[in-house]
A and B are shown apart, each in its own frame.
Chain A
Amino acid sequence: MDRGAEITVPQSVATARKHKIRQSISAWTFLIPALMFFVCYQVYPIFRIVWISFTDFEFLSTEPANWIGFGNYIEAYNDPLMWKSMGRAALFTVMFLPGTIIFPLILAILVDRVRHPLLATLYRLILLIPALIPSTLVFVLWKWMYNYQIGPINYMLVEVFNIFTFYNAPQWLGGTNLTLPSIAIMEIWWGLGYHAIFFLAGLASIPREMLEAARLDGANEWHVFWHITLPRLAPIMMILVVLRFGTSMAVIDEYLIFGGFNRGAPTYTWTVYMYDQAFNIGLWRQGFAAAVGMIGAAVMVFFVAGLVYIFRPRG
């Protein structure tokens, strides 16, 4: 028997190594399709932007671009509008992010406990309706809702409840201080359903037996939530936070639609500034715009690293 063991050990090591190599190869085969798209449509454009950011490229100009090193970056760094507009994006993120995590979480926990099959399905159906509406139509809907003269919200406040008059009703959109919170509310509304579905998916992966056992052991609801549910939801929450942080810092469509190119507006964030320089003003200084974009991205990456650290899956 000993001799048999002596023989099989080196053999299994060899097979193990061969297997490891084979596994690596097949792993890379699995990765290749995704990486191919990624390199073409994501990496290549990024390299191009980085390259452009070091030149004085102006899209509308017929002159060739010149290398100017960090010139654009220095200009952007010293530009007060760069930081002001970055601050606006951060402000929006702070308003939006907590709401878009907490409300769907509550909703998901509640809906998850609904036992009646028909109601459960109905609720899930309604939750997903906003996700079926294309983004441009969601914006239109809320532009109507928030309309100063005849939107239902102001209608209720002015003509039904008489809390305000035509002269002092809240101006929800268009550049006032209420604009960012209003857009945040719109985004939260939009994500309410489909973030809840994310959480429902996460909750569904928690084995019921685990929960039952904990309850039988005398743990109360809060205990169960904090020690069992939340840790299991952590990966999904992290994904959501990281994803939404990125998208909310980099919002642009909404701001172009709701605020345009007025630099004094709270919706004029660094992405709008970038777009303004790249496609609107003067000869379209895309070199400079690219530098603005890169600085913005760097700031975001810095914060996201922090978030990933906070939300890393434990245990």
Chain B
Amino acid sequence: MLKQDINYEANTPQQTWFAKHRFPIIRHAVINLFMLIILLPLSWVLILSVKSLPDSMRGQFWPRKFDFTHYSYVFENIETLTGNMMNSIVVTGATVLLTTFFAVLAGYALVHLKPWGKTFVFTILLLSLYFPTRVVAIISIYELQDFLGLINVTSGLILPYITLNLAISVLIMRSVFQLVPHEVIESARLDGAGLWGTLWFIGLPLARNGLVVVFIVNFVTAWGEFLLASTLINDQEARTMPVVLAAAQGGMGQWAWPRIAAVYIIVVTPGLIAFTFAQKLFFKGLAEGVVKG
């Protein structure tokens, strides 16, 4: 390169801050566009929850009259709401933890312990993803739970819930463990770390990102599951949240929109707050993956 060229580049005052930073600016602009797409509907719901009834049936965003009574209406009419939320939290939490545990074990085994018959297991798991079991098998699941005496037992839901996403969780963990070089595992084993040690200290940290994914998949399914929860549990106190919420939307419409919006806010906020605190742990896992990887 000629000296002149270099000098010319360095001496260009026309490059404004905007031009120089154009990539980050475009990046943030696009990201923020998506953020808006996510947040705008939710802010509409927030406003809806404090609109007076006539205002809720007009298109205007800002209400003429505010009405904060919808929140108390919710608590008065779904007395069991806090209980139902606790049930959902317990069931979802247990499902997520147990499914992750089983999936980690199974995924690890399929890849690094290489049992006889692993391809067969893999194919079966993959195939099972495509059977619409949940709908037509609702009757057989009911019978199974009845046989186990788990009808109307909230924690009994955990068993079928685990299975809902077990196949995909195992497949995810398997894929993630495939990215861990086998030599690393072998050398750890030769070094004398036992079966569990190898998994816990070596395999798992490298597969941490898969854990995040499995967590989310199972959480989302278990948190919102309706069909099984409504068929297998009858008592209001024992029910999970989605069932109770569904009752609020259907029927003859005494649940006006602002009231459902209030339910929305009540249901989502605690999760949000909890998540804000938990996210540090959560995303730490992702970041560490970068360093270790």
**Bound pair (A, B):** yes
- For the complex, is B179 an interface residue (Cβ under 8 Å from A)? yes
Closest to B29 in A: A110
Among A4-12, A19-27, A75-83, A91-99, the one that faces the other chain is A19-27
A interface residues, tally (CB under 8 Å): 100
Contact of B38 among A34, A189, A242, A300 (CB under 8 A): A189
Binds A, one of B5-13, B63-71, B107-115: B107-115
- A192 to B268 alpha-carbon distance, docked (Å): 18
- 17 more CB-based (< 8 A) A-B contacts, given A31-B115, A40-B159: A30-B113, A41-B144, A43-B128, A133-B224, A134-B224, A134-B242, A197-B216, A200-B286, A202-B209, A208-B290, A235-B179, A236-B175, A246-B129, A250-B132, A296-B132, A297-B131, A313-B175
A121 and B277 CA atoms in complex are apart in Å by 12
Chain B interface main SS type: helix
Residue with the highest number of chain A CB atoms closer than 10 Å, among B42, B88, B163: B163
Do A136 and B220 touch across chains, with their CB atoms under 8 A apart?
Answer: no
Say yes or no: is B246 at the interface (Cβ < 8 Å to chain A): yes
* A313 touching B132, Cβ below 8 Å: no
Interface pair B39/A132, CB less than 8 Å apart: no
CB contact under 8 A between A140 and B249, given known A23-B114, A26-B195, A236-B175: yes
Interface string of A122-152 (1 = CB under 8 A from B): 0111111111111111101110110001111
User: A296 to chain B: which residues have CB within 8 Å?
Assistant: 132
Q: A30-B105, A128-B275 are in contact. Are A278 and B135 (CB under 8 A)?
A: yes
Q: Which residues of B contact A37 (CB under 8 A)?
A: 102, 159, 162-163, 166
Interchain nearest-CB distance for A63 vs B (Å): 17
Instruction: Output the least CB separation between B57 and chain A (Å).
Output: 6
Q: Which of B35, B245, B287 contacts A136 (CB 8 A)?
A: B245
Of B27, B105, B140, B141, which one neighbours A33 at CB under 8 angstroms? B105
Q: Known contacts A40-B144, A45-B141, A253-B227; decide if A236 and B213 are in contact (CB<8 Å).
A: yes
Tell me the residues in window 245-293 of chain B with beta carbons closer than 8 Å to chain A beta carbons. 245-246, 249, 257, 260, 263-264, 267-268, 271-272, 275-276, 279, 283, 286-287, 289-290, 293
Give Cα A183 to B164, complex, Å: 23
Which positions 39-67 of chain A face chain B at CB distance < 8 Å? 40-46, 48-49, 59
Interface size range on B against A:
35 or more
- Select which of A130, A140, A243, A297 is within 8 A of B168 by beta carbon: A243
**Contact, CB under 8 Å: A297 / B219:** no
Q: List 24 A-B contacts (CB under 8 A).
A: A27-B110, A33-B106, A37-B162, A41-B144, A44-B140, A45-B133, A107-B34, A114-B27, A123-B31, A126-B38, A133-B268, A135-B224, A136-B226, A138-B224, A192-B37, A202-B209, A204-B286, A205-B209, A207-B290, A235-B175, A252-B135, A253-B226, A274-B132, A293-B131
Residue-wise interface mask of B (36-66) relative to A, using a CB-CB cutoff of 8 A (1 in contact, 0 not): 0111011011001000000001111100000
Q: Which of B137, B227, B263 is the one whose CB lies under 8 Å from A46? A: B137
B286–A141 touching, CB < 8 Å: no
> In the complex, A135 Cα to B225 Cα: how many Å?
7
> A242's contact among B109, B129, B140, B286, by CB below 8 Å, is which?
B129
**List of B residues within 8 angstroms of A208 by Cβ:** 290
The interface residues of chain B lying within 8 Å CB-to-CB of A136 are: 224, 226, 242, 245-246, 249
**Residues in chain A within 8 A of chain B (CB atoms):** 23-24, 26-28, 30-31, 33-35, 37-38, 40-46, 48-49, 59, 103, 106-107, 110-111, 113-114, 119, 121, 123-138, 140-142, 144-145, 149-152, 154-155, 158-159, 189, 192-194, 197-198, 200-202, 204-208, 235-236, 238-239, 242-243, 246, 249-250, 252-253, 271, 274-275, 278, 286, 289-290, 293, 296-297, 300-301, 304, 308, 313
Contact B241–A48 (Cβ < 8 Å)? no
* Complex contact B167–A42 (CB within 8 A): yes
Report the bound CA distance from A86 to B130 in whole Å.
14
A258 to B242 CA separation, bound complex (whole angstroms): 17
Contact A144 B48 (CB under 8 A): yes
By beta carbon, the residue of chain B nearest A59 is B139
CA distance A298 to B106 in the complex (A): 26
